[in-house]
């Protein structure tokens, strides 16, 4: 099932999420993170998308996973943050 959300990050940019949801496992099959935010290095968003494949669709789990991926890859987000990204993804949940 394809799910989408559009979320304006408070004091930040517009985040658009499109993801394929696996209802059977309550997990994310694939995710596309788009928007007018900034991320340094830019390629790290692709790493983030890749590492969120098969992730459990659960707010706390996603928050911790995103936080650790960002730290591991020294990703600097501007106009976007861990809370906002987690919330944007959770807004997709049916």
Question: Where does this chain bind another protein (CB under 8 A)?
Answer: 6, 12-14, 16, 32-42, 45, 76, 78-79
As a whole number of angstroms, the distance between CA 64 and CA 77 comes to: 16
- Around 54, how many Cα atoms within 13 Å sit in the side-chain half-sphere? 1
The nearer residue to another protein, 45 or 62, going by C-beta atoms, is: 45
Label residue 54 left, alpha or beta by phi (over 0 means left) and psi (-120 to 50 means alpha).
left
Pair of tokens at residue 15 = 């985040």
The nearer residue to another protein, 11 or 23, going by C-beta atoms, is: 11
The nearer residue to another protein, 12 or 84, going by C-beta atoms, is: 12
């Amino acid at each position: 099932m394809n799910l989408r959300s559009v979320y304006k990050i408070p004091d930040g940019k517009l985040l658009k999420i499109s993801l394929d949801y696996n209802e059977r496992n309550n997990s994310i099959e694939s995710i596309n993170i788009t928007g007018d935010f900034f991320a340094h290095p830019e390629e790290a968003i692709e790493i983030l998308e890749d590492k969120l494949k098969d992730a459990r669709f659960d707010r706390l789990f996603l928050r911790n996973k995103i936080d650790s991926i960002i730290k591991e890859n020294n990703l600097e987000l501007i106009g976007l943050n861990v809370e906002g990204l987690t919330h944007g993804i959770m807004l997709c949940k049916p």
